[in-house]
Structure 1
Amino acid sequence: MLAFMQKINSKQRLLLILVTLTCAILVVALLVFNKFQAQPVPTGSIIVLPIKAPPVVGANDWQEYAQMEQVIANLGTSAQYPVLQTEDVIAMLSQASSFIQDQQAIDLERLFIVSGASLIVETTVSVNENSYQLDYRLLSTQQIKSGTIVDRSLSEANTRLAMRIQNFVDFTPSPIKGGADAWFTQPLLLEALKQIQYSQLADAKISLNELLSQTPNNLVAIRLLAELYSADEELLAAEEWLNVGIELGLESENQRQLARLRLALAQLLLKKGLPELAITQLSQARTLAANSQDWLYLGYISNWSGHIYQQLNRYQNANAQYQYSLDYHQKAGYPAGQVIALNNLAELEVVQHNYSLAYKAINQSVAIVTQRDLTQLREPTFKLLAKIENKLQRIR
């Protein structure tokens, strides 16, 4: 090699060195790129955001949510990557201080923190020469993938977007009965949810009643209306609507919505002083939610089951249900649900005078509240911590 180097002149030597360095840089860059590309998206929930349209497209606000719902329906769900439904996304956005039609940019960093999502899908639609163009970003905590889809059909473009999301996270969707309903094609549903967000509950009732006079099988609207009647102590009207919704859900075999309707009915029965009947409804709701891989609502259902068992002094059952709630919300990656479950476990241990176990649970809760800056849960969590610390000091 030395003899070879001596035979070439200085210019050739410099050129050879530059070529060698360039090749080395390219190899290193390729290795780094491949390593970056190979990073899988961590398991957890997927949030599809409302599909934004510039004013020139002429889309109404409700259409952003209707298009989002279509992508969610096409996407499906899986055990490893549960896809939040439109209604759930709206709830998560509100926790990140982003409300319907508030015209504020979504704080994506805050949304990641409060939702615990593994992937957020951000999309904008525009019209270009009789075609629809979707510009999207797939955002995880580790990487961002951008792309563009052009198609003459917006529906087909949404389908292709769902396929790209599936390929990006590498999951095969599970078939869910009744999972592709288009609830948000009705503008009044979004209007009612907006009114609920702004505590305009009487107006929300009017909107939902009007919607159901036009589309009587909208199960989301039925449940929301029943919950509003229940909040106003109009329990008979609430129960009538829930029974109508459950009957329609059984006819359409919509397991996801049936689970949510039965949870609402269980809450109503508990309010009427019928805890055993409420437990029966929750048991059915749990099976339906499991069949539709709705980890978020499985967490809610387990939490309410624990609450009822605790009221009945069946502490072992209550403990198991609170633990299930924690497990399900960990699977969904939902921090607030985890905190509520841990707080309930801590309260249950206090009732049984197991203060060391209560302290262990509340410390886990405090860690999540602090790390995630869950402002709405900070006060009750730290108040419970102080209560448990006082109990421990008294027995020492």
Structure 2
Amino acid sequence: MKSESVLQKQFISLGFRVDGRTFSVENSAGERLKIRPKTCQLLLVLMENHQQILSKERLLSLVWPNVVVDEQVVFQSIKEIRQLFHPHDVIKTLPTQGYQWVAPVKSKANLNNISVKLTTAVVTACLLLGSITYLVLNDPQTRSELKSHAQAKLEGSVVILPTQNLIAGNGHDWVRLGFMDQLIQRLPSEPSFGVLQTDYVLEVINRAGLSLSSTSTKSPDVTGDVAAKGMFSDSEIQQIFTVSGAQLVVASRLMGTPHDYQLSYNLYWPQKTMQGAIFGTDTHVLLDEFSARIKRLVGSDVVLDSQGYHTDFYDEMMGRALELKLQGEYESAISLLQALVLQAPHNMTAHRVLIELLLSQAQFGQAENLLEKSIPIATSLGNHHELIRLRYLHALLAAMRQSFTLAVSRADEVIELAQQHRDWLYLAYSTDLKGHIAMKNTQFDTAHALYHEAKSYHQILRCPVGEATSWLNLAKLAKQRNAMERYNESLDNARYIAQTRALTSILNEINESEK
């Protein structure tokens, strides 16, 4: 038996799936487990020869051919395999004889042929779909009707979810958040809708009670329906609609092998769903085509300069830091981000999230030092997306230090920049900050106008959290002015949104305000 033959097979034992082509192991839940390549190769040999006794010498010759290694490597690999399959007893040791795989094994041979047939079928289907799509979208009357329909219907926010990565190895770890963030950058906000930015989407996922870490672990059967539903179930998608106010949710996953990619996607509207697939040899080409398709559907004519795309989310360390932040593990997140800022000084997102955390922990001195370094870098890079956020934090810092005149001046700078780039979220945040300062200075009429203006920006995104918070701010203002009728009306509006949108934190705040 040649060891090369096992590299074309897939084995299933006790619910575990071991793939010889990708040196990967998945458990019954579809989670990909960590295993060293040589250990996986030894596992494949044992499973290929299950019920046979293989000596150490035989294993060394099959897994480490033409290499002089100590037999300890066999002992170590056997130990790792047993730990992987614990508590199942899968390997029997026979003193002086060798090792034997004793668990039941099913194998799938000729996977290449299966994959070829499957890929051919998918390609044929997608080519047909692509031809139909091309004919439809390039008919002038149909294209005009589609654009008119999209512009009439799409009002609110667009949520791009993390991309599920099904490419073997760690060379594509960046895909989960990096692919998502690049797509978001290619879809600019318009007067009637806004595209939620990456870290805000992660907050939406967290608010919906879903796990960010689980989005990278699910994997379909290679012989299953590769065009099946994406990484989120229908009920999970519905929960995202509920808590975000989204009018379009985009889910995608990347499959295939390097330079032979397939991007499958689902587009969800409140009342309909669309599926599709794109094939290509380069991920950036896939992104450009995918964004072009979405832009046609939402009626956007804006063309972005691809040279301006930043890659702050390509580092998986960034994703881990955001997970820690969402989990409330602020000290760990700060340590990770401090390391990332040193390692990647032009990663403006890492700078900004670190500053947010420092402010939340009242570490004002450190936050100010980092802001003074970060704002010039973001300016020189032309990264207006992060520059808006950094300048907002600069204004917030001044407000937290009771320097209200300076805070208002800085907030006005943010508003001017955010208006240029239709950043509805930070227009709302900055206007809201000015409202808080006006209320603090007992400028109640000014505060009332600013809170309503902030609410109007949140309404462009149909953001339930923003709208409910705006109503709650108006209620607090009315209470301070002893306008109890207006107070009750505003509080009822906030409560209605929070209840219908399952916003627990807002409901808790409403309850506190009534005490």
Question: Counterpart in 1 of 2:213?
Answer: 101
What are the residue-to-residue correspondences of 1:214-293 with 2, within 5 Å?
Answer: 214-293=343-422
Deviation at 1:209, TM superposition (A): 1.5
SS at match of 1:45: strand
1:8-47 CA-to-partner distances (Å, cap 9, x unmatched) read xxxxxxxxxxxxxxxxxxxxxxxxxxxx988544312111
Q: Pick from 314, 324, 327: which aligns with 2:443? A: 314
For 1:200, the aligned partner's letter is E
- Which residue of 304, 317, 327 corresponds with 1:198? 327
Distance 1:260 1:193 in 2: 16
- Is contact 2:159–2:201 with CA below 8 Å preserved after alignment? yes
In 1, Cα distance between equivalents of 2:491 and 2:324: 35
The aligned amino acid for 1:253 is: G
Q: Give the partner amino acid of 2:162.
A: P
Q: Provide structure 1 residue ranges, at least 5 long, that are not aligned to the other structure.
A: 1-35, 388-396
Q: Structure 1 CA distance, aligned partners of 2:495 and 2:303?
A: 35
Q: 2:185 aligns with which of 59, 73, 88?
A: 73
Deviation at 1:276, TM superposition (A): 1.3
Residues 296-352 of structure 1 show CA distances to partners (whole Å, capped at 9, x for unaligned) of: 121111211111111111111111111111100010110011000001011101111
For residues 172-211 of structure 1, give each alpha carbon's deviation from its aligned partner in whole angstroms, at most 9, with x where no partner exists: 2365899621111122221211121222222222211211
- Find the partner of 2:434 among 305, 309, 313: 305
Bigger helix share: 1
2:267 corresponds in structure 1 to 138
What does residue 52 of structure 1 align with?
A: 164
Greater shift after overlay, 249-258 or 311-320? Answer: 249-258
1:89 aligns with 2:218: no
Q: Is the 8 A contact 2:163 2:251 kept in 1?
A: yes
Contact 2:253 2:264 in 1 (8 A): yes
2:277 paired residue among 145, 148, 151: 148
Confirm whether residue 324 of structure 1 aligns to residue 453 of structure 2. Answer: yes
CA distance in 1 between counterparts of 2:459 and 2:156 reads 9
Rg larger in structure: 2
Q: Which residue of 2 aligns with 1:360?
A: 489
> Which is worse superposed, 251-260 or 99-108?
99-108
Query: Percent of counterpart pairs with the same letter?
Result: 26
- After superposition, the Cα gap between the structure-2 partners of 1:178 and 1:346, relative to the gap in structure 1 and judged at 3 Å, is farther
Counterpart selection for 1:347 from 461, 465, 476? 476
Q: What corresponds to 1:375 in structure 2?
A: 504
- Residues 380/199 of structure 1: CA separation in 2 closer, same or farther (3 Å cut): closer
Give how far 1:364 is off.
Answer: 1.6
- CA 1:261–1:149: 2 relative to 1, 3 Å: same
Seen in structure 2, the aligned counterparts of structure 1 residues 187 and 302 have a Cα distance that, compared at 3 Å, is same
CA drift at 1:140: 0.5
Higher fraction of strand: 2
Counterpart of 1:187 (choices 306, 311, 316) is 316
Distance between the aligned counterparts of 1:204 and 1:113, measured in 2?
Answer: 28
SS in 2 for 1:46: strand
What amino acid does structure 2 have at the position aligned with 1:371? Answer: T
The residue that corresponds to 1:117 in the other structure is 246
Letter aligned with residue 208 of structure 2: A
Residue 119 of structure 2 corresponds to: none
1:170 aligns with 2:299: yes
For residues 258-300 of structure 1, give each alpha carbon's deviation from its aligned partner in whole angstroms, at most 9, with x where no partner exists: 2211111122112222111111111111111111111112111
Matched position secondary structure for 1:82? strand
Q: Distance in 2 between matches of 1:280 and 1:234?
A: 23
Shift of 1:75: 2.4
> For the residues of structure 2 that align with 1:184 and 1:336, how far apart are their CA atoms?
25
Instruction: Supply the distance in 2 between the matched residues of 1:229 and 1:374 (Cα, whole angstroms).
Output: 26
Paired amino acid for 1:364: N
The answer to whether the 8 Å contact 2:166/2:256 transfers is no
Deviations 1:105-140, CA, capped at 9 Å, x for gaps: 641111001110110111111116952111111111
**Change beyond 3 A, Cα 1:267–1:178:** farther
1:246 partner amino acid: I
Secondary structure (helix, strand or coil) at the match of 1:118 reads: strand
CA distance in 1 between partners of 2:421 and 2:307 (Å): 9
How far did 1:165 drift? 0.4
- Classify 1:142/1:161 alpha carbon distance in 2 versus 1 (closer, same or farther; 3 Å): same
TM-score, with structure 2 as normaliser = 0.64
State how far apart, in whole Å, the 2-side matches of 1:299 and 1:95 are.
20
Instruction: Look up the equivalent residue of 1:325 and give its one-letter code.
Output: A
Query: Which stretch shifts more, 38-47 or 199-208?
Result: 38-47
Counterpart of 1:172 in 2: which secondary structure? coil
SS in 2 for 1:328: helix
**Secondary structure at the residue paired with 2:374?**
helix
CA positional deviation for 1:76: 2.8
Secondary structure of the residue aligned to 2:165 is coil
- Identify the range of structure 1 (224-233 vs 99-108) with the bigger mean alpha-carbon deviation: 99-108
CA–CA distance in 1 between the matches of 2:397 and 2:306? 26
Code of the residue aligned with 2:416 in structure 1: it is T
State whether residues 167 and 255 of structure 2, in contact with CA within 8 Å, keep that contact through their aligned partners in structure 1: no
Q: How far apart in 2 are the matches of 1:144 and 1:225?
A: 37
Letter of the aligned partner of 2:311 in structure 1? Answer: A
Q: Secondary structure at the match of 2:195?
A: coil
Q: CA deviation at 1:61?
A: 4.8
| Residue equivalent to 2:154 | 42
Distance in 2 of aligned mates of 1:233 and 1:372: 31
Distance 1:322 1:121 in 2: 31
Q: How far apart in 2 are the matches of 1:203 and 1:219?
A: 19
The answer to whether the Cα contact below 8 Å between 1:176 and 1:292 also exists between their aligned partners in 2 is no
Read off the aligned partner of 2:266 and give its amino acid letter: R
Cα offset, 1:159, TM superposition = 0.9
Identify the range of structure 1 (306-315 vs 217-226) with the bigger mean alpha-carbon deviation. Answer: 217-226
